[in-house]
């Protein structure tokens, strides 16, 4: 008798087999950017029949950076990178069926070589990016296979999901002058792929970038490289591991697909960064929508200290709402005195405007170039005091849900926002009395209780001397907003209240780290 699990797996394999379409195409293209970047193209003409193309060509590459007096990497000599591969090889996906990791690794794969033919040591990255030209040509944007279904191996050991790659990078390293490195890329559909993968395919291209040794590293990648492995237990982690990012997986919500993000947790992790000529802290790495549908992994950071206590919303007539898109605080942060680093006026829990001065701590012109638009989710909550509704995981769904007061927006696109309640909840590591798992199973509304003090006391986002605003509204009432209290609990309060404001931004994906280790004494320095 066939076991039920085996029967379902066989059924799924049959469904995939029926849907699989192998497409043959001799598509070849060599892309040359204006910046001198050369691209080695890999067209994945169908996830069910993938062919490596457009290789066997040799390209020259020269990269020079001289952006500031503090960081100058101009060197003599030339930097040349060449690529070579067997263009006849194919990446097998085991009959286009969901494949086990062992079978995926057993594939022949596609082999290519990178050679540094220049006189300078080079740092390289190999990325697997969406081939937008092919997607447009085939008019198949709605048929692209979710990267969460695609597994890859390129170093012979580690198996990763394509969705977890940072800036699409699948491997990186350095090459001395005259040195070569050979890679074999293997792709397959993960064994537990759902029916969402049926009839889908994927177009992609391999892009190889190189820079002179010593060039700044992409901030997101640098910090992600330090992230803890998925199955690491906090209780058995080393002190150094505890201070780096931790992985969280989330189910799909009303506004988002299933996602994986990386967050700093604990009382004092290594998440300090110098931004806007002051200390900020990295909440984590998130799949960030720029408001146009383009999603990429970006660093989300929060000011280490509050810029002061301000009403979330208020006006001269004494009116206030929990609509973030029109809130007075939103205007201050995105178009007013704070954003423009100037003076202004503010209705701070009063119908009489008061003067505000951000000439010393508003956003600098340099800082504004380092942040980009992001889609902020404005879903609200109406019940969060029980274990079935008040956990950090529940808040995550509320925030990305569509439950709002009548007429309120469910999302907003802009540059400067505030923390989510879930950001605060997920930042705890727990302690010896109440461990991390127990804290995440305890409603945030009751974190003030002395019996679970380990939760807030081992949460770097907690501030015992300041009530902090979030961006999240209360669902059932028009004028209430969620806050994190100085006692550690999460609940709602009138929007006219003047509470602590810690601005939050998403850094552009091109931001690089020039130096620093993430400690308070040696924060990451951005370029």
pLDDT of 9 above 80: no
User: For residues 81 and 116, which has the higher predicted lDDT (pLDDT)?
Assistant: 116
Q: Are 18 and 4 in contact (CB under 8 A)?
A: no
**426 bridge partner residues:** none
**208 bridge partner residues:** 126
At which residue do the structure tokens 């997986």 appear? 249
pLDDT of 70 above 50: no
User: For residues 224 and 321, which has the higher predicted lDDT (pLDDT)?
Assistant: 321
List C-alpha distances in Å: 131 to 45, 75, 168, 188.
Answer: 10, 33, 12, 18
Q: Are 389 and 443 in contact (CB under 8 A)?
A: yes
For the ranges 93-97, 227-231, 410-414, 445-449, which has the lowest average pLDDT? Answer: 93-97
Q: CA geometry: angle at 366 spanning 361 and 368, to 5°?
A: 75
Instruction: Please report how many Cα atoms fall inside a 13 Å half-sphere around the Cα of residue 137, on the Cβ side.
Output: 11
Sign of the dihedral through C-alpha 365, 367, 368, 370:
positive
- Sequence-separated (6 or more) residues with CB below 8 Å from residue 8: none
Average pLDDT of span 471-493: 97
- Per-residue confidence band for 206, with pLDDT thresholds at 50, 70 and 90: confident
What per-residue confidence (pLDDT) applies to 87?
37
pLDDT 10s digits, 358-381: 999 999 999 999 999 999 999 999
For the ranges 2-16, 146-160, 213-227, which has the lowest average pLDDT? Answer: 2-16
What per-residue confidence (pLDDT) applies to 276?
97
pLDDT 10s digits, 220-274: 888 988 898 878 888 899 999 999 999 999 999 999 999 999 999 999 999 999 9
266: left (phi over 0), alpha (psi -120 to 50) or beta: left
Quick one: DSSP state of residue 349?
A: S
Residue percentage of the chain with pLDDT more than 90: 52
Kindly tell me the burial class for residue 192, based on how many C-beta atoms sit within 10 Å of its own C-beta (0-12, 13-18, 19 or more).
exposed
Encoded tokens for 201: 């395919």
Q: E-strand spans in 309-426?
A: 309-311, 343-346, 354-357, 374-377, 411-414
- Sequence-separated (6 or more) residues with CB below 8 Å from residue 213: 120, 121, 122, 123, 174
pLDDT 10s digits, 93-142: 334 578 888 888 888 777 778 877 777 777 777 888 777 777 788 788 78
Q: Whole-angstrom Cα distance, residue 431 to residue 435?
A: 5
What per-residue confidence (pLDDT) applies to 167?
67
Average pLDDT of span 472-482: 96
Strands 411-414 and 468-473: unpaired
Q: What is the mean pLDDT of the chain?
A: 81
The pTM (predicted TM-score) of the whole model is: 0.68
Phi/psi at 48 (5° precision): -95, -5
**212 bridge partner residues:** 122
């Amino acid at each position: 008798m066939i076991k039920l699990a085996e029967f379902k797996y066989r059924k799924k394999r049959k469904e995939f087999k029926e849907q699989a379409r192998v497409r043959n195409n001799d598509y070849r293209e060599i892309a040359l950017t204006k910046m001198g970047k050369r691209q080695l193209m890999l067209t994945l003409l169908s996830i069910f029949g993938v062919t490596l193309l457009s290789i066997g060509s040799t390209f020259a590459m020269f990269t020079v950076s001289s952006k500031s007096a503090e960081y100058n990497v101009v060197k003599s000599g030339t930097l040349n990178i060449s690529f070579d591969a067997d263009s006849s090889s194919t990446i097998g996906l085991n009959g286009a069926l969901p494949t086990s990791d062992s079978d995926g690794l057993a594939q022949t794969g596609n082999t290519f070589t990178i050679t540094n033919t220049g006189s300078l040591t080079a740092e390289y990255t190999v990325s697997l990016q969406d081939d937008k030209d092919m997607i447009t040509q085939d008019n198949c944007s709605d048929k692209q296979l979710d990267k969460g279904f695609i597994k890859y191996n390129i170093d012979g050991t580690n198996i990763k999901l394509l969705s977890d790659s940072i800036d699409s990078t699948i491997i990186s390293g350095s090459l001395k002058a005259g040195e070569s490195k050979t890679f074999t890329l293997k792709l397959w559909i993960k064994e537990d792929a759902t029916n969402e993968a049926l009839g889908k395919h994927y177009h992609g291209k391999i892009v190889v970038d190189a820079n002179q040794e010593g060039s700044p590293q992409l901030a997101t990648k640098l910090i992600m490289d330090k992230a803890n492995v998925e199955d690491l237990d906090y209780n058995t982690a080393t002190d150094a591991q505890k201070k780096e990012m931790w992985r969280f997986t989330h189910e799909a919500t009303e506004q988002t697909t299933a996602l994986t993000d990386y967050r700093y947790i604990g009382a004092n992790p290594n998440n300090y960064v110098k931004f806007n000529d002051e200390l900020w802290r990295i909440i984590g790495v998130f799949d960030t929508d720029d408001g146009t549908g383009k999603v990429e992994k970006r660093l989300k950071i929060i000011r280490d200290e509050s810029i002061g206590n301000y009403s979330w919303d208020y006006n001269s007539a004494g009116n206030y709402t929990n609509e973030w898109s029109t809130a007075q605080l939103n205007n201050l942060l995105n178009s007013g005195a704070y954003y423009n680093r100037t003076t202004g006026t503010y209705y701070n829990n009063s119908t009489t405007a008061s003067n505000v001065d951000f000439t010393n701590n508003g956003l600098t012109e340099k800082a504004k170039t380092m942040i980009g638009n992001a889609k902020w989710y404005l879903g609200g909550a109406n019940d969060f005091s029980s274990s079935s509704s008040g956990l950090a995981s529940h808040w995550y769904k509320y925030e990305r849900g569509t439950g709002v007061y009548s007429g309120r927006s469910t999302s907003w696109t802009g540059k400067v926002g505030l923390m989510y309640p879930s950001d605060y909840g997920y930042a705890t590591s727990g302690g010896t009395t109440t461990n991390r798992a127990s804290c995440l199973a305890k409603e945030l509304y009751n974190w003030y209780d002395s019996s679970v003090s380990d939760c807030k006391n081992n949460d770097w986002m907690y501030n015992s001397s300041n009530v902090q605003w979030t961006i999240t509204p209360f669902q059932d009432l028009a004028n209430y907003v969620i806050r994190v209290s100085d006692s550690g609990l999460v609940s709602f309060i009138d929007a006219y209240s003047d509470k602590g404001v810690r601005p939050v931004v998403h850094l552009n994906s091109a931001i690089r780290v020039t130096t620093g280790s993430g400690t308070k004494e040696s924060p990451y320095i951005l370029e």
